[in-house]
Amino acid sequence: MLSVFLMASPDGSQPNSSFSLIMMGAIILVFWLFMIRPQAKKAKDQKKFIENLQKGDKIVTIAGIHGVINKVNDDNTIQLETNPGSYIKLEKSAISLEWTQQLNKAVATEADKK
């Protein structure tokens, strides 16, 4: 059994090359399933979220700034109203999908309770 883990044949000769290829393929598959694929899906969701931003959406930036979108500009920026009459110009890429979803989920659950 130990010889399987050490990738050597039982008689002590050279390791089995087909077994090595299978193990390498399995490692790459596991790496892809648990690392690359979820990150690609997350990036796709973030891009879709940023493209669908509209005036009036409540958002949270990656810096933790909460506000309401006042204007979506053509140069990949937004005008964010943090307080009534107080505006900040931000890049769209500075908006956090996860924190915005948590904010909107909390607002929705509070509305459901009433």
Domain span at 97 = 54-113
Indicate if 42 and 61 belong to the same structural domain. no
- Number of structural domains the chain divides into: 2
Indicate if 61 and 32 belong to the same structural domain. no
Indicate if 39 and 58 belong to the same structural domain. no
Rounding to the nearest 10 degrees, give the CA dihedral for residues 86, 99, 46, 37. Answer: 160
Contact 104, 58 (CB under 8 A): yes
pLDDT digits 0-9 by tens, 73-98: 999 999 999 999 999 999 999 999 88
Indicate if 69 and 31 belong to the same structural domain. no
Report how far residue 54's alpha carbon sits from residue 78's, in angstroms, rounded to the nearest whole number: 9
pLDDT digits 0-9 by tens, 59-79: 999 999 999 999 999 999 999
What residues does 86 pair with on adjacent strands?
83
Per-residue pLDDT, 1: 44
Check residue 94 and report its DSSP letter.
Answer: G
The whole-angstrom distance between residue 111's C-alpha and the CA centroid of its chain comes to: 27
More confident residue, 98 or 111: 98
pLDDT bin (cut points 50, 70, 90) of residue 11 is low
Indicate if 22 and 42 belong to the same structural domain. yes
Q: What is the mean pLDDT of residues 99-109?
A: 82
Kindly report whether the global pTM for this prediction surpasses the value 0.85.
no
Q: What is the mean pLDDT of residues 15-43?
A: 87
